[in-house]
Amino acid sequence: MDELDAVQYMQSIDLPEMLQIEGDENWMTPIVSYLKDGMLLEKKDEARKLRVKSARYILMDVVLYKRGFSQPLLRCLAPDEANYMLREVHEGACGNHSRARSLVYKVIRSGFYWPTIQADAKAYVKVCDQCQHFSNIPRQLAEYLTPMMAPWPFAQWGLDILGPGYFGALSNWNSANEVFDGRNRLLHKMGGSRTLSKNYTTECQEFCLEEHWNFVSNLESETITPHPPTHRPMARTIVRTPTGETPFKLAYASEAVIPAEVHMTSHRVRKYQAKENEEQLRLNLDLMDEVRMDAEQRTTRYKNLMARQYDAMVKPRRFNIGDLVLKRVTLATRNLAYGKLGSNWEGPYRVINYKRQRSYYLEALDGQRLEHPWNVEHLRKYHQ
């Protein structure tokens, strides 16, 4: 054997024991028996079917071939030979870890065939370890939306650490403490009980709040009740779609007069009467409970409608205890040495517990448990 032949017959993966068609029975056995010895099956219908099917096959040197359309002759492979062929083409020296359809076409173009080639290719690609680790991150929504309804009017979930008036770190901690002390004094002046921690950097300078109070005093209208400061006062006077009312009206039972109406003198500002305005303000306060209740019901309907539209695009993923999953690689766990060529998933991990069918507690295969639960959108099932 010369040097070229030595390279040609070198396998890039482990070669299993190859069985000839004279060995164990497989899908080729009845066809070979009919072509070689003229043997048919006992049942009449099965014998006729075998006779028609065998017309598309030919036996050459004890090797079965199928007459193909893309190739003149396709060599027929037994199950063990087919498994080796899939592994060699998919992950061998010339393999590129292609998907099932490309894998099937490549095998056919190479001149091989067996009846379940498409199903076997899909099953093999599905359990390929490297294909799973480098697979795309699914963008399909994996969990239904859970609307959060307010338990009482104006209830909100949030954490305000720096506040709206963050301008950057101060030069020293003494300056930061002075700023926080001034902010806390202003909050107490407004009747608030919330104080800010001095462990953070600067949050706001005093003139940020004073600017707002000057703006309120310049409106020159008794229909406006001073409200807590904000850097976007105009946003409180816009009708919101979920409630159908402005946030200002839901808070103070009356519509706000914006600066443009004061400076350009709108119709209601021209017709302003202090006594009638006072009576109307008191009447609005008496009717405010119904307005807020209607706004709450409208908000609930709006959130439920939004949830139905969101849920229509969801394809839920569920895992059971004991399932193997892959975890998405995050910026904290990504190996920067690989760059964009790194894998998208790491693992596999085993699901050991879950509080609800959305977050799962995981452990590595060596028994090391991950500290925090992981949301289902960061997980995908691992096939083996």
Question: Given this chain, do its domains 3-127 and 324-381 carry the same CATH topology?
Answer: no
What is the predicted pLDDT for the residue at 308? 92
Strands 112-113 and 73-76: parallel
Helix (H, G, I), strand (E, B) or coil at 144: coil
Packing angle of the helix pair 173-189, 206-217 (nearest 10 deg): 30
Q: Is the distance from CB of 202 to CB of 167 less than 8 angstroms?
A: yes
Q: Tens digits of per-residue pLDDT, 67-86?
A: 988 888 999 999 999 999 99
By CB atoms closer than 10 A (0-12, 13-18, 19+), residue 303 is: middle
Q: Quote the longest CA-to-CA distance of the chain.
A: 115
Q: 242: closest CA among 320, 297, 176?
A: 297
Q: Is the distance from CB of 298 to CB of 244 less than 8 angstroms?
A: yes
Reported pTM: 0.60
Q: Tens digits of per-residue pLDDT, 274-283?
A: 888 888 888 9
Question: CATH number for the 324-381 domain, one of 3.30.70, 1.10.1740, 2.30.30, 2.60.40?
Answer: 2.30.30
- The token pair that represents 283 in the structure block: 């009447």
CA distance linking residue 382 with residue 362, whole number of Å: 13
Residues 6+ apart with CB under 8 A from 229: 190, 208, 209, 212, 213
Q: Is the distance from CB of 68 to CB of 74 less than 8 angstroms?
A: yes
CATH architecture of 3-127: Orthogonal Bundle (1.10)
Domain boundaries, the chain: 3-127, 324-381
What is the predicted pLDDT for the residue at 275? 87
56: left (phi over 0), alpha (psi -120 to 50) or beta: alpha
What is the predicted pLDDT for the residue at 75? 93
- pLDDT tens for the 384 residues of the chain, in order: 455 444 444 566 665 544 444 457 888 888 888 888 888 877 888 888 888 888 899 999 888 999 988 888 999 999 999 999 999 999 888 888 999 999 999 999 999 999 999 999 999 999 999 999 998 888 888 888 888 777 666 666 666 565 554 444 444 444 444 544 554 454 444 444 444 444 333 443 443 444 444 444 443 344 444 444 444 666 678 888 888 888 888 888 888 887 877 788 888 888 888 888 888 888 988 888 898 889 888 988 999 999 999 999 998 888 999 999 999 998 888 888 888 888 999 989 999 998 877 889 999 999 899 988 999 989 999 998
What is the predicted pLDDT for the residue at 156? 65
With tokens 């609307």, the residue in question is 147
Q: Tens digits of per-residue pLDDT, 92-146?
A: 888 889 999 999 999 999 999 999 999 999 999 999 999 999 988 888 888 888 8
Q: Long-range pairs for 166-170 at CB < 8 Å and ≥24 separation?
A: 166/202, 166/203, 166/204, 167/202, 167/204, 167/205, 168/201, 168/202, 169/201, 169/202, 170/201, 170/202
What is the predicted pLDDT for the residue at 122? 94
Helix, strand, coil % in the chain, rounded to nearest 5: 40, 10, 45
With tokens 């569920």, the residue in question is 318
